[in-house]
Structures are given as C-alpha cells and as structure tokens.
Amino acid sequence: EDFQIVALDDEHASYYQITFGENSAVWGIAKDGSNTLVWQKQGFSCQISSNRDLSELIKIAEGITFGNASEDV
C-alpha cells in the first residue's frame, strides 16, 4: 500500500485528510482561498494547487496518468 508523510506549515492554511477514488490525500485551503491537493500513487508524489474548487482539483487529479496510460493516478 502507498503511504506518504507530509510536513505542512499551517500558519497560512488549514489541512484535511480526504479520500478520492482509491487515493488518500491531503487537501489544503489557504487563507487566500486557493486549494492544494497532495497524494501519492505508484511511488510518485503528486500535487495540484489552484484557485479552482476542490471538486475540480479532484477531476484533474483523476485524469492524470503516467507510465502505463491504463494505470490511473
């Protein structure tokens, strides 16, 4: 099973543990309203940061593939 250790500075953001698909992730909400999604899959650490809504970040994350295109991130 994939796991990750994440050290985060919470001075300017709040962080939450979430799950999307089969992925365990950390979701960060900055004071400026931006979102960050951090997760690990297939040995890769992935991060998306944007002013978009969390649901949009999850859609983007679910569309990311690498290596064998049939293996989703």
pLDDT in the model for residue 14: 92
Given a contact cutoff of 8 angstroms between Cβ atoms, the answer to whether 61 and 39 are in contact is: yes
pLDDT in the model for residue 68: 63
The amino acid at residue 31 is K
pLDDT in the model for residue 16: 93
> CB-based burial of residue 41 (10 Å sphere; 0-12 exposed, 13-18 middle, 19+ buried)?
buried
What is residue 54's three-state secondary structure?
Answer: helix
- State pTM to two decimals: 0.78
Instruction: Pick out the chain residues at pLDDT < 50.
Output: 69, 73
pLDDT in the model for residue 2: 53
